[in-house]
Chains A and B, each alone.
Chain A
Amino acid sequence: MQNKDEDKELRKLQKLFLSGSCWQRLGTLLVIAVALFAVVAPMIWPDYAGQDLSRFLESPSIAEPLGRDQLGRSVIARLARASRISLGLSLCCVLTAALLGGVLGVVSSWRGGWIDTLLRSFSDAMLALPGLLVVLIFSAMTLGGFWTLYTGLAMAQWVEYYRLVRARSRLILSSPHVEAARLLGFGPLYIVRCHLWPELRPLLLTLMAFGLATAVLALSTLGYIGVGLQPPTPELGLMMTEAFPHYHEAPRLAVAPVALLALTLSGLILMQGKGVAR
């Protein structure tokens, strides 16, 4: 009963991921566009910290498409740098969480026994802590430290990967295919490469897209609250906070980071397809 349900789920997900419906294509396009911006734009406008107080709040021009901010810094350079930092850091966190959760999931399902019980109870405990809470607690160690944020975000997300990988691996490892492979004498590395990885890959990728969105949003929320990355490092949430007092005289300062964040997040969400109601 369970097997059939989950297989149906899996096929549905695969179909959605590979089918390329209109919305998903749009989502993928958005994500690629933002990624391109994050990689290329800092090379075109490299100076994100240089101030010129005599040119504060200068209006947009050809050289400066978004004008200058309250300290005379180039807004588009800051936006470019902020997108690079936000996306880069989030990607690192998600990859780490996926790696950690995945490896632990495979180990847990392979070994079983007390390792399995230990890891499962630990993951259950972590499940009861909302992700932002975990990151906030970690932030208390060094306010706005890059490494503490990285650790906190990764710790907040690994549990989902662990549970998913463990559930799937248990099924796969007890299937006749793997039993046959073992009997034929193939080692664990072969089994992981040829049996586990192909089944797990699409699930992991879907989760990662979702995790990326969560991490980017969490970073900007922390920046807004004031315990995230510290100024003058440009970060989207921080730029929104700094820009707010100027909403009357220079709305582009706040609109630019909001628009970029919205595009990034909607792209990531649309990429997941309509079926996933998360």
Chain B
Amino acid sequence: MIASSVITMGALSRRIAGQRLVQFVLVTLVVCSLCFLIVQQLPGDVAFRIAAGRYGYDYVTADAAEAVRRELGLDLPAWQQFVRWVGRTLSGDFGVSLVTGVGVATELGEHLRNTFELALSSLFLAMLVGLPVGVLSGLRPGGGLDRLTLAWTVAARALPAFMFGLLLILVFSVHLEWFPVAGNEEGGTLLLPTITLAAGLAGLMARIVRDNVIQVTASEYYRFALYKGLSPASVFFRHGLRNIGVTSITYAGMQLILLLEGVVVVESLFAWPGLGHALVHSVFWRDVPMIQGCALMMAWLFVGMNTVTDLACLAIDPRGRRE
């Protein structure tokens, strides 16, 4: 019996991995095509744009643009460029940033590390606050804490992340002078961006966990365990936690979208040199290899995180996710 369940688990996780791999490839193709479309669509001259990025607006001249055009060979027919484009991306060569001239892969590595740092610490903080609050409000539905989490969720969705971040800066950096405003150095620059991101996530997580707790505590097996005579604490830890865990993690996986979108805004505001900051920057400068690199990284990150949550769900509940 154990052997068969292991085999089932193996089969299930293989299926999940297979599905996610297909998604991975499809996403890559979609992003590549979109980015290529941008290049073909751009009004005006790409070479000029790149020259302005390189030489600054005091020195941008037609000579500079000519030099750039010759250097990058921006004059092949469209379909040839597309084939070259996709081929290079799939083989790992993301090209060179049109603005800085540094390899996109090198820059992305640095940005990825920073975004990871920010995202992980926000997730950690959100879970640290959201999980206990959610459990407590679920155990006492309709109570004061419950209403608080509802108000918190609504407030977090209604106030844009950048306004919240600016408010935090005004209060904590300018008036109280407790934390630095922006940048990426030691001495607490991680704190304010993390709080900004984690605030919304924590509220949402609390609500999700609360709903699941209510569902689980109302279920028959839970009440039966209580009737049996087990103490509420042991019932909770033995029967409740795992079931709450599965559904919470599934829904939490969907909220990762919010995390990635929040990262873009928060990194811009706090000058945190991560993927979101680089993406906004490259959109403005029309630095298409960089746009593609950042978009691909973020999409892959998302697919990866979803795979991890799927496998985590499987580990907690080996029966597998019901479609």
Contacts and interface: CB of A to CB of B under 8 A. Distances in A.
Interface string B137-180: 00000000000001001110111111100100010000000000
Interface stretch (A66-74, A99-107, A125-133, A180-188): A125-133
Contacts of B302: 128-130
A140 B27 contact: no
Contact of B41 (A126, A131, A141, A265): A141
Size bin of chain B's contact surface: 35 or more
Contact of B279 (A2, A122, A136, A142): A136
A125 B23 contact: yes
Contacts of A127: 23
Interface in A225-276: 225-227, 237, 240, 244, 247, 258, 261-263, 265-266, 269-270, 274-275
A128 B163 contact: no
A145 to B, nearest CB: 10
Given A130-B298, A136-B264, A141 B42 contact: yes
B290 to A, nearest CB: 11
Interface in B3-35: 22-24, 26-27, 29-31, 34-35
Chief secondary structure at chain A's binding surface: helix
Interface stretch (A47-55, A201-209, A213-221): A213-221
A133 B283 contact: no
Interface in A117-153: 121-122, 124-133, 136-143
A17 interface: no
A226 B281 CA distance: 10
Given A128-B299, A137-B295, A277 B251 contact: yes
A262 B1 CA distance: 56
B211 interface: yes
Interface residues of A, number: 45
Which of B251, B283, B302 is packed against the most chain A CB atoms within 10 Å?
A: B283
Contact of A217 (B42, B160, B257, B295): B160
Contact of A269 (B23, B34, B158): B158
A215 to B, nearest CB: 13
B280 A136 contact: yes
B315 interface: no
A207 B299 CA distance: 24
B38 interface: yes
A275 B208 CA distance: 10
Given A142-B43, A225-B265, A2 B322 contact: yes
Contacts of B43: 142
A274 B150 contact: yes
Contacts of A247: 170
Nearest to A125: B26
Interface string B28-53: 01110011011001110000000000
Contacts of A56: none
A224 interface: yes
A220 B160 contact: yes
B210 to A, nearest CB: 8
A132 B279 CA distance: 11
Interface of B: 22-24, 26-27, 29-31, 34-35, 37-38, 41-43, 150, 153-155, 157-163, 166, 170, 204, 207-208, 211, 251, 257, 260-261, 264-265, 268, 279-280, 283-284, 286, 288, 291, 295, 298-299, 302-303, 306, 322-323
22 contacts: A1-B322, A2-B322, A122-B26, A124-B23, A128-B26, A128-B299, A128-B303, A133-B264, A137-B34, A137-B291, A139-B283, A141-B41, A141-B42, A142-B43, A143-B283, A221-B162, A224-B162, A269-B154, A269-B158, A275-B211, A277-B204, A277-B208
Given A128-B26, A143-B283, 15 more contacts: A122-B26, A124-B23, A125-B27, A125-B29, A128-B27, A129-B302, A130-B302, A133-B299, A137-B295, A138-B34, A217-B157, A221-B162, A261-B158, A261-B160, A262-B158
